[in-house]
Amino acid sequence: MWQALDIETWIAGRRSDLDQVRAPVSEIIEKVRSGGDGTLIDLTKRFDGIDLVDIAVPDDEREAAYDLVDAELVESLVQAEVRIRDFHELQRGRDLWLQEMEPGITLGVKTTPLARVGAYIPGGRAAYPSTVLMCAIPAVVAGVEEICCCTPPPISPITLVALDIVGINEIYRIGGAQAIAAMAIGTETVPAVEKIVGPGNIFVTAAKMLLRDTVEIDFPAGPSEIAVLADSTANPTFIAADILAQAEHDPSAACVLVTTDATLADSVGEEVRRMAKGAARRTIIEEALEHSGYIIVDDIDEAVEAANRIAPEHLSLQVADPLSILTQIQNAGSVFVGPYTAVACGDYASGTNHVLPTAGYARLYSGLDVNHFCRRSTVQMITKEGLEAIGDVVETIADAEGLCAHAESVRVRRRR
């Protein structure tokens, strides 16, 4: 349940499950493409054991959910929403900026929000109202006008309350790869979207990646993972607690400790085993821990190199001088600095986004933010004076490329 890991084998293993489900997920996508709502109803019966009467959630069901949720929880969601919104407001750029680069040449960027996006909210093993906040708030801040949500049935009242808090009233009770296909392709009930965001299991992640020619996605965001980079000063109980917090998400969750101290690795293992025995989600945790463990390195430089190769979703720095290490981190979805920065704080209420790339994709993608919901167009305004300044350059290069009409489009203006 807690073992030494070979870094190469562990890294490769995080994507192997994804490859194995591509064929069945492709089959589900084609069924939704040809069968629409009928397929969604059939697959919901098959996978969730639920006979759907209505795919869409009516307004009165969403509003009635407040009566089923403790008032303190509602208030906590409201407070988390404020913190998450405040952080994401800082990411919002100017809708249009223009800068005169030289006399007669003004350049800039125009930012336009996407018109319609879809958010996938996992369900099944747990309710995830926090993921509702993380997916919807940056879209709202960006100015997206239409935001829909798919989540597996039965939908928890907590999830419905979170959706109401952020202002989403287009909700569909469908999950899995079929939900991704519905949002990407469109059905009689579910209009197609321009982009799909949100985490999910390997079937959801595979569907998102297979449908990238049809719809844009945020990034692969599969089962949760954590890497802890620690030295001899770290608290083994804190590390074990963070590991269990991510392990309880999913049997496929991946957790790894990278440390310079073999004694610490043993101590963390003892704490992991002790804490797992009393965990509410013990079965899930123990399955996740079967492919989790530790990597011993010779020094901090090697630890940093290992962390950058792993490119984890969550990276916890529990070392004597974490800020000096932070400057060397290149690949991580989100970084948690110091012993008291529990990863769970970022999951819920510090304000940063918890929808992050997994399985090493932090080498290629950044976590969900406001920019994911925008298109940017460059803008240029050139006067006669500006055209004279760059005309010779444009004409010379265009002629060299053999694109005579390009050059002539400038010459004709200069002649006039």
The residues that are catalytic are 313-314
CA distance 138 to 114: 12
Q: Give the Cα separation of 178 and 158 in Å (integer).
A: 23
Residues 198 and 283: their CA atoms lie apart, in Å, by 25
Paired tokens of 133: 């906040």
Q: What is the token pair recorded at 313?
A: 């979703």
What b/e sequence results for 270-292 when a residue is b if at least 16 CB atoms lie within 10 Å of its CB, and e otherwise?
ebbeebbeeeebeebbbbbbebb
Question: Quick count: other Cβ atoms within 10 Å of Cβ 306?
Answer: 18
CA angle 140, 201, 286 (to 5 degrees): 125
- AA letter at 113: P
What are the φ and ψ backbone dihedral angles of 334, each rounded to 5 degrees?
-150, 140
Give, for 196, the enclosing helix (H) or strand (E): strand 195-197
Can you spell out the DSSP letters for 350-397? SSS------TTGGGT-PPP-GGGGEEEEEEEEE-HHHHHHHHHHHHHH
Question: Residue 89: which of 146, 144, 137 has the closest Cα?
Answer: 137
In 3D, which of 141, 83, 131 has the Cα closest to residue 374?
Answer: 141
Q: How far is CA 302 from each of CA 16, 44, 235, 308, rounded to the nearest angstrom?
A: 26, 48, 21, 10
